[in-house]
Amino acid sequence: MSRNATRRAGGVSGAMALCLALSACGGASHAGSGAGAKSNFSLADLTTGTAHGAVGDLTWYGDYRAPYSEDPLKTADYPEETILGNVCEPLLRTAADYSLHAGIAQSWSQPDALHLVFDLDPKATFSDGHPVTPADVVYSLLRNTDPNEASNFADSYMYVKTITATGPKQVTVTFNRPDYTFVQNMGILAGAIVEKSFAEKAGQSFGSAQAGVMCSGPYTIASFDGTNTMVLKANQDYWDKTQQPLAKSITFRFLSDPSAISNALSSGTLDGAFDLPPSVVPALSKSSTGKLYIGGQGSTTQNIDLIISSLTGGFSDARVRQALSDAIDRSGIAKSIFDGAADPLYAVAGPGFWQTSSAKPVYQAAYQNLAQSPDIAAATKLVQQAGATGKSVSIAYAADSPMTAQIAQVIQQAGDQIGLKVKIVGLPDQQYGSLFTDPKARAGYDGFLTINYLEFPDAADMYASYATPAGSQNFNGYNDATVTADLAAAVATQDQAKRAALVTAAQTILATSLPWIPIVAPRALVYENKSVTGAPLSFSYMDSAWAASVGAP
């Protein structure tokens, strides 16, 4: 399954990339708060610690801009996904290791590949005290399929046939083709539940600063000025007494300048932050007011790649794409540009997409076969064999991102070393963003840099997004029948090891054809001052109610 609409990923700046939230792997039957896939990470490794007490008012970095809407479906980007999961709970909860747990749905099961059944917790209520009913859940999920709603998660529902109430506290999703991956969407904002009556009454104003939203999360939106601050306050009547929020309120502030972010954290103006630009790592590592946490390899589902925008231009010969990939010093980029807070990436769906899978050994073995050091001699020979020596290719990047500018320069230098002239072009925000939506905008470039993510790990969906004909990030028309068949079979396969075998078979082909060239994978970066702890040290903060666990050490 893949998305039909791309979305902006802020990262270091507003024009960093367009990105996707796709469906991911799930088991056949889960129930209770302990449900979820076995993790190869220790939860202790994926959080900054355990909070043991309440705190008053927190301030947190809300990312590079304010949310465009309070509606959980309208924009899927760092600001919205960092904040709104605390207000509008998804049907299920996603833990720091990406395992799914009971939430509004107290249990769920997938009796076969075409049906997914959710039984709702009778205690679940919205912040106005009204109970969460099957009608609310059906309405909320179906909003994703309504073109008038323009949900950023619409493509996740591509294979949904019906969503119906099948009991007084039960909802069933029926698919029109086998799908064991859809369930993971119910742990992100694709599965966010809103109160039907409130949303219908608000109409087109739902999610605006004036009308607001009505959801069931541990926080509500107290105020939002649309630009500088959004304030959440603890829902004192939150229905789940085992998950009560520890912070009385959280004020999110939005900063785009890395120096301003670093200064605000070091001075204590901000208590914490996710999604930090790599340029702040040296300063915050020395901070005396708090601690910078750097996750391990695979602690995010982010990937920085070179998208080949045309398979008929300067990169039309796969040997040229392979040559440039072979020449890139990925380890050097990770060390020098990211200050060690990134890892070389040899497949777009790298370790962050399978570290928590029970089939990790299958993925890991296949991935290790792709790892390589730069080989200038071999790359030069490939360029010569392709008859491309001295020829030019053009690569675009976001001009207001120092990090992507530096990566572009490294790629340009790699091209020079192998006889390929690489022209790099920095584009302003709007022009760069159009590369993801307008074929005419892409026509002038052979490739462009992106930072990409999924909210949870699933290698099959990541590959399907750019390497299958229906993929929402297939910008160059790449089409390999075997890759498409293997990825479709993976989505329809419940057994994790069998799914991994199918995905890695597709990955082997993609590693040669390279419709995208992987570069590096950022690690999770979280900063907290000394007065707080409990934030997730993984990408799971996207769309989850992470703030409820942040409190006093």
- CATH number of 75's domain: 3.40.190.10
Residues 70 and 49 in one domain: yes
Residues 333 and 287 in one domain: no
Triad 499, 501, 504: Cα angle to 5°:
105
Whether residue 26 is contained in a domain is answered as no
Residues 214 and 313 in one domain: no
| CATH code where residue 345 lies | 3.10.105.10
Prediction pTM value: 0.89
The number of domains in the chain is: 2
Distance of alpha carbon 91 from alpha carbon 105, whole angstroms: 6
Phi first, then psi, for residue 190 (nearest 5°) are -60, -20
Q: Which residues contact 62 (CB under 8 A, 6 or more apart)?
A: 79, 82, 83, 230, 252, 253, 254
Whether residue 17 is contained in a domain is answered as no
pLDDT number for residue 43: 53
Residues 201 and 332 in one domain: no
If residue 115 lies in a helix (H) or strand (E), which one and from where to where?
Answer: strand 115-120
Residues 374 and 252 in one domain: no
Whether residue 52 is contained in a domain is answered as yes
Residues 72 and 111 in one domain: yes
Residues 246 and 324 in one domain: no
Q: Which residues contact 313 (CB under 8 A, 6 or more apart)?
A: 393, 446
Residues 278 and 309 in one domain: no
pLDDT number for residue 42: 57
Distance of alpha carbon 238 from alpha carbon 241, whole angstroms: 7
Distances (CA, A) of 497 to 364, 460, 468: 12, 13, 22
Strand partners, 397: 426
- Residue 289's domain spans which residues? 41-295+524-549
Highest mean pLDDT, choosing among 13-17, 309-313, 513-517: 513-517
Residues 269 and 310 in one domain: no
On the question of pLDDT at 344 being above 80, the answer is: yes
Dihedral of CA 237/239/244/250: which sign?
Answer: negative
Residues 188 and 69 in one domain: yes
Distance of alpha carbon 81 from alpha carbon 62, whole angstroms: 10
Higher pLDDT pick, 34 / 119 = 119
How is residue 272 written in tokens?
Answer: 């914490």
Phi first, then psi, for residue 410 (nearest 5°) are -65, -40
Whether residue 497 is contained in a domain is answered as no
Output Rg (C-alpha) for the chain, integer angstroms. 22
Residues 324 and 391 in one domain: yes
Residues 223 and 350 in one domain: no
Question: What are 350-377's pLDDT values in tens digits?
Answer: 999 999 899 999 999 999 999 999 999 9
Whether residue 12 is contained in a domain is answered as no
Phi first, then psi, for residue 71 (nearest 5°) are -70, 120
On the question of pLDDT at 14 being above 70, the answer is: no
Question: What are 455-486's pLDDT values in tens digits?
Answer: 999 999 999 999 999 898 999 999 999 999 99
Whether residue 508 is contained in a domain is answered as no
Distances (CA, A) of 499 to 39, 175, 496, 511: 17, 19, 5, 18
Distance of alpha carbon 366 from alpha carbon 364, whole angstroms: 5
Whether residue 149 is contained in a domain is answered as yes
Whether residue 495 is contained in a domain is answered as no
